[in-house]
Amino acid sequence: MNMTNPKKFDVKKIRNDFPILKRKVNGKPLVYFDNGATTQKPKPVIDIINKMHTELNSNVHRGIHFLSDQTTQMYEAAREKTRAYMNAKSTREIIFTSGVTASINLAAFSFGEAFVKSGDEIIVSEMEHHSNIVPWQMLCRRNGAKLRVIPFDENGDLLLDEYQKLFNERTKLVALVHVSNSLGTINPVKEMIAVAHKNNVPVLVDGAQAIQHEIVDVQDMDCDFYAFSGHKIYGPTGTGVLYGKEDWLDKMPPWQGGGDMIDRVSFSETTYAQLPSKFEAGTPNYIGAIGLGAALDYLTAIGMENIKRHEKELTDYGLEKLSAIDGLKIYGTPKNKSCVFSFSLAGIHAYDIGMFLDKMGIATRTGHFCTHPIWERYQVDGATRASLALYNTKEEIDYLCEAIKEAKKMFD
Amino acid sequence: MTIDEIQNEIAADFKKHGNWFEKRKYLIQIGKSASPCARARASGDNLIRGCQVSTWFYSESKDGKMFYEIDSDSGIVKGIAVLLARIFSGQIPQDIILSDLKFVADAGLEEDFSPVRANSVLKIVGRIKETAAASLR
């Protein structure tokens, strides 16, 4: 894994790799600040998807013919790239899914079937995305277990003392977001995993908003499961990964049944394939996975250290500039913050701000961002969110701030 | 005035305002200048919860005609709500049920009625027609 690249980070050059950033929206140059929802795709990802469809398409793990062999090799190479990117021990620990939601649902079902019984408890945090709440709630309903919740403070930092108090002999799993999509909080996952392990409890980390911004080393972090989506890390939509320690995955039953996940099938008994196939029933999104592999190659070539440094500059600059706007409140000012700014403007609804910014060519997200409990905590209906990525610039932040000031004039 | 006559009047007003920003500024002013909708906000049952925007809806049938008060926490949606209340209040249910919202395109407000961006507005329109139909039963 080469996460450090000594080359200078050249944001102009990087922007050239993303064709969509050249387009205009509503007559204005596009400022794409909705990266928390999905990221744009660099040329290598677009090119490989096109190439797969035009030259190489064939189902994987099934044919003995040339195309199937080529595609299978590329699909498994994408698995190896993903393993290396996360520093997993083995490709058997990398399950391709359709996205982080599918990854967590898979874990919730299979882990729950094997290990969660009536009266057991699962710990989540108050800042989880609904994708890391609802699958566990569904499991609780099925198995009679219950959720325990780690609260966060006004700044958006989890209360670690409260977290420690939630463990007891019935705790079976911690499901924790690495980076909050609404607050930008970078949670101290390594420290929190160590606490869980002291209590003999495994941890699933929702990395949907972390994998594209942070250096994720699953062995160093020592998480038991790590889930993310490909489309949020510059890869294609409909791709995702569930990393799981082999020991756990081996003990968990399959989630879905079908082709490719079996060893032998008869009407009296079916035996299952080895990892990772056991969890990949049916034809996988192999072209998507290969595209994800290209995205990981792209990021590795730039160097995650360089990306982190650039995004930290954007975070600090954005906080400073946005905070200076009269009447603007930022939700999420934690100790460690990712490049996500959720904000409200006094007297103006988030929907109105979002509509106005759209007319200025700025793509933001408005609403609750699939984190209802966060907004209940702040007792507001939601916010406007500018979520940045490696291709964003300080000039774009300046433009956002000017546009917000214009919006204030219009709504005053 | 008939529903169509009021719609024509609104469309003509909006045509005086050139671009998107001017039209929305006018719309927001319409919302702000409307009298408070105390009856709409009086009951939690009146709340129409949209994906992003909360709207409060009150209707009554009086002497065979419908009357509406609609409020919203969004300035843009509030402006549209006021326009819709103006168009449909004082009209008979049959006319409301059969009406088309012709003013939307003429006034340049199409995107405010987009199902993705503005499901609250479409929910308001749905409630107006539902309550008109219910008054006939």
Query: In sequence order, what DSSP letters do the residues of A261-327 get, joined into one string?
Result: SEEEE-SS-EEEPPTTGGG--SS--HHHHHHHHHHHHHHHHH-HHHHHHHHHHHHHHHHHHHHTSTT
- Which two three-digit tokens encode residue B112? 């405010």
Cα–Cα distance, A207 to A225 (Å, whole number): 10
A194 contacts chain B (CB < 8 A): no
Cα–Cα distance, B35 to B105 (Å, whole number): 26
Q: Which segment of A30-34, A370-374, B50-54 scores lowest on mean pLDDT?
A: B50-54
Residue A182 and residue A332 in contact, taking contact as beta carbons nearer than 8 Å: yes
Nearest CA in chain A to B72: A349
Q: Which segment of A137-151, A193-207, A229-243, B122-136 scores lowest on mean pLDDT?
A: B122-136
Chain A partners within 8 Å of B117 (Cβ): 355
Looking at every residue in chain B, the average pLDDT score rounds to 89
Cα–Cα distance, A268 to A276 (Å, whole number): 24
Question: With pLDDT > 90 as the criterion, what percentage of chain B qualifies?
Answer: 57
CA neighbor of A206 nearest in space, from A121, A116, A104: A104
Looking at the DSSP assignment, which residues form a beta bridge with residue A229? A240
pLDDT at residue A6, rounded to an integer:
57
Instruction: Examine the pLDDT at B131 and tell me if it is beyond 90.
Output: yes
Helix (H, G, I), strand (E, B) or coil at B33: helix
Instruction: Examine the pLDDT at A195 and tell me if it is beyond 70.
Output: yes
A226-243 as b/e, with b when 16 or more CB fall inside 10 Å?
A: bbbbbbbbbbbbbbbbbb
Looking at the DSSP assignment, which residues form a beta bridge with residue A344? A329
A349 contacts chain B (CB < 8 A): yes
ipTM here = 0.86
Does the beta-carbon distance from A351 to B52 stay under 8 Å? Answer: yes
Rounded to two decimals, the pTM is 0.93
Instruction: Examine the pLDDT at B43 and tell me if it is beyond 70.
Output: yes
Nearest CA in chain B to A365: B52
Selected residue with higher pLDDT from A381 and A162: A162
Q: Report residue A190's pLDDT band, with 50, 70 and 90 as the boundaries.
A: very high
Looking at every residue in chain A, the average pLDDT score rounds to 96
Does the beta-carbon distance from B76 to A355 stay under 8 Å? Answer: yes
Instruction: Examine the pLDDT at B37 and tell me if it is beyond 80.
Output: no
Highest mean pLDDT among A4-8, A52-56, B112-116 belongs to A52-56
Q: Report residue B53's pLDDT band, with 50, 70 and 90 as the boundaries.
A: confident
Q: Which segment of A154-163, A224-233, A237-246, B18-27 scores lowest on mean pLDDT?
A: B18-27
Chain A partners within 8 Å of B76 (Cβ): 349, 351-352, 355
Residue A242 and residue A103 in contact, taking contact as beta carbons nearer than 8 Å: yes
Q: At what angle do helices A350-359 and B75-88 cross, to 10 degrees?
A: 100
Instruction: Examine the pLDDT at A247 and tell me if it is beyond 50.
Output: yes
Nearest CA in chain A to B76: A352
Cα–Cα distance, A149 to A377 (Å, whole number): 13
Please identify every residue of A annotated as catalytic.
370
B77 contacts chain A (CB < 8 A): yes
A367 contacts chain B (CB < 8 A): yes
Give A349 to chain B, closest Cα distance, Å: 5
Give the pLDDT mean for A263-292: 95
- Give the best residue of A352, A357, A368, A409 to mutate against chain B (max B CB count within 10 A): A352
- Site of tokens 């019984």: A117
What is the DSSP pairing of strand A340-345 with strand A383-387? antiparallel
Does the beta-carbon distance from A352 to B54 stay under 8 Å? Answer: no
Does the beta-carbon distance from B51 to A411 stay under 8 Å? Answer: no
What is the DSSP pairing of strand A171-177 with strand A31-32? unpaired
B121 contacts chain A (CB < 8 A): no
Cα–Cα distance, A408 to B65 (Å, whole number): 39
Cα–Cα distance, B91 to A234 (Å, whole number): 53
pLDDT at residue A120, rounded to an integer:
98
A37 contacts chain B (CB < 8 A): no
In the A/B pair of chains, how many CB contacts fall below 8 A?
A: 38
Compare CB distances from B53 to A26, A349, A359 and report the shortest one's residue.
Answer: A349
- Site of tokens 């160097």: A303
Give the pLDDT mean for A153-169: 98
Q: Which segment of A137-151, A167-181, B22-36, B39-53 scores lowest on mean pLDDT?
A: B39-53
Find all residues with CB under 8 Å of B126, minimum gap 6, and list them: none
Residue A275 and residue A263 in contact, taking contact as beta carbons nearer than 8 Å: no
pLDDT at residue B104, rounded to an integer:
86
Give per-residue pLDDT as tens, A292-327: 999 999 999 999 999 999 999 999 999 999 999 999
B134 contacts chain A (CB < 8 A): no
Give the pLDDT mean for A248-266: 93
Compare CB distances from B21 to A351, A359, A366 and report the shortest one's residue.
Answer: A359
Does the beta-carbon distance from A349 to B74 stay under 8 Å? Answer: yes
Give B76 to chain A, closest Cα distance, Å: 6
pLDDT at residue A2, rounded to an integer:
46
| Other CB atoms within 10 Å distance of the CB of residue A14 | 21
Cα–Cα distance, A236 to A52 (Å, whole number): 13
B24 contacts chain A (CB < 8 A): yes
Give A368 to chain B, closest Cα distance, Å: 8
Instruction: Examine the pLDDT at A25 and tell me if it is beyond 60.
Output: yes
A356 contacts chain B (CB < 8 A): yes
DSSP H helices in A87-201: 100-115, 134-143, 160-165, 189-198
Give the pLDDT mean for A393-407: 97
Question: With pLDDT > 90 as the criterion, what percentage of chain A qualifies?
Answer: 94
Highest mean pLDDT among A116-125, A366-375, B8-17 belongs to A116-125
Q: Report residue B51's pLDDT band, with 50, 70 and 90 as the boundaries.
A: low
Instruction: Examine the pLDDT at A5 and tell me if it is beyond 70.
Output: no
